[in-house]
Structure 1
Amino acid sequence: MNYLKSLLIVLLTAMGTNQVFAHALWIETDVNGKLNAKHEVKIFYGEYVANERDSVQKWYSDVRDFTLWLTTPKNEKIKLETKAGANYYGANFTPTQEGVYLLTVVHEAKELGGTTKYEFSSVAPVAVGKNAVISGSAIANPLHAIATEAKVYKVNSAVKVNAYLNGTAAQGKTVTVFSPEGWSKDFTVSADGTIEFLPLWPGRYVLEASNYEEKSGQHNGKAYTAAWQGATSSFVVSK
């Protein structure tokens, strides 16, 4: 009986760990903003490829306690207030200058998944005016993958993505592209820290970079033996 009980606990723990790996946090917002006009932002948690956006009450651990930051074109960092909806957290800001704004989240979950520590992060650009170039190396998130321009892309036109880990090119790491049609594909980051692909359908695409390391330490009084990072961004494609 004790053996069967222990086996069940192990299986349930593994299932829980796999579920965490399948989920991600991502930001959705219009990529183009207007001067002195309120700009809306939504933050979701779930599985984008399955079109699943979890109720905020079901978000893993304390992920709902994330902090949303806005970095202005002049590099000012502002904490934005968020408000819970049914399956998202909403926020807004009003651009007062031209340039590229960056919305960022980095949150280390309080609870471990088995003996793995989890970090969820996301970044979203908003371009106001003509400048749409995104400097990937200027984003503070430890891990991120983001399109090189803050714009609406076109079907069958190349999308180039920069991927960074701890301030340097994330060579050899995996970036998964999730399409609005339920299609996904893994790409390996090149030596210059990029991937490139052709979007085949219109709609919103989500990028997720991941990093897994076997390392030990203490997190909120509990021992961990591995650390996982999942970082997202998204962009829109039109016909």
Structure 2
Amino acid sequence: MKTLKSILFLALLALPFKNLLAHALWIETPLNGKIGQVQQVNIFYGEYATQEKEAPAKWYSDVNQFSLWLIKPGKEKIKLQVKETENGFTTSFTPTVQGQYALSVVHEAKELGGTTKYEFSSYAIVNVGNIKAQADVPNLLKTVFKSHKVHQINQEVEFQVLLNNNAFAKGKVMIFSPEGWSKECIADENGYITFKPVWKGFYVLEASNYEKTNGTHHGKTYDASWQGATSGIFIH
């Protein structure tokens, strides 16, 4: 069974002169599940490219205090309790009906990056039996596929970028391949992007949105906000 990894890339201004510390928070769970069978879910933080998984005590700021939500078919939302492990967190759920389930993380880091507030979100999809409707993913910034099937190498993949449930015209998305290749794409006026994968394996799509805005966050003033959101797709 192929494993779906939903990666949340964490770009933080760790130093005052815009030096970036790139880390990732990601979810690992099988893409397909079965009624009555336990679905294992793991959450890691570290360097995805090298599979370096940090102990939760070393995670940035309060990232290890994230909340993981399960959205069941029918839109029932349940907060999953996670258990700390040596190199991350683990949890599970047992599907009870057919349909598409979604796992969702949306987390604002407590610490600012310079004077920028950061929001990180990611989701993973689990298909169980016959799919009559796509899962309701609450993340406000996301990339959405027409279907969560296994896509084929050298065949075009189309997805849409949404912001606040509307098409994100000219939205930016980074595509990361399992071979280390990456490319920045710009959505069209309707929020659509198409790409043709040339390697097999898991691809990560990271949408981002940067805005100049003012406010306070945990007692600190910020003058900009950044949203980053990832989803994944497996290429057969």
The answer, yes or no, to whether TM exceeds 0.5 is yes
Structure 2 residue aligned with 1:74: 74
Greater strand proportion = 2
Task: Return the alpha-carbon distance in structure 1 between the equivalents of residues 125 and 46 of structure 2.
Answer: 21
Corresponding residue SS for 1:29: strand
Contact 2:15–2:114 (CA under 8 A) maintained in structure 1: no
Match of 1:3 in 2: none
Name the SS of the counterpart of 1:154 in structure 2: coil
Q: Report the CA distance between 1:146 and its aligned residue.
A: 3.4
Q: Shift in Å at residue 174 of structure 1?
A: 0.7
The structure carrying a bigger helix percent of its residues is 1
SS in 2 for 1:12: coil
Residue 11 (structure 1) shift: 9.3
Cα 1:155–1:224 change in 2 (3 A) is: same
Find the partner of 1:14 among 8, 12, 17: 17
Q: Which sections of structure 1, spanning at least 5 residues, go unmatched?
A: 1-9
Using the TM superposition, give the Cα deviation of residue 175 of structure 1 relative to its aligned residue in structure 2, in angstroms. Answer: 0.9
The answer to whether structure 1 residue 58 and structure 2 residue 61 are counterparts is no
Q: Please report the TM-score for the alignment, with normalisation by the length of structure 2.
A: 0.87
Does the 8 Å CA contact 1:32/1:151 hold for their aligned counterparts? no
Alignment of 1:121-140 (within 5 A): 121-131=121-131, 134=134, 138-140=136-138
TM-score (normalizing by structure 1): 0.86
Q: Which moved more, 1:178-187 or 1:51-60?
A: 51-60
Deviations 1:100-154 (A, max 9, x none): 101101001111111111111101111111327636xx42111111333222222
SS in structure 2 opposite 1:216? strand
In the alignment, structure 2 segments of 5+ residues that lack a partner are 1-12
Which residue pairs with 2:5 in the alignment?
none
**Superposition CA RMSD, Å:** 2.1
Count of equivalent residues = 224
* 1:65-106 CA distance string (max 9 Å, x none): 010001111110011111222333222111111111011010
- The aligned runs of 1:142-157 (5 Å cut-off) are 142-157=140-155
Match of residue 173 from structure 1: 171
Percent sequence identity is 50
Match for residue 7 of structure 2?
A: none
Post-superposition shift, 1:28?
Answer: 2.1
Amino acid at match of 1:111: E
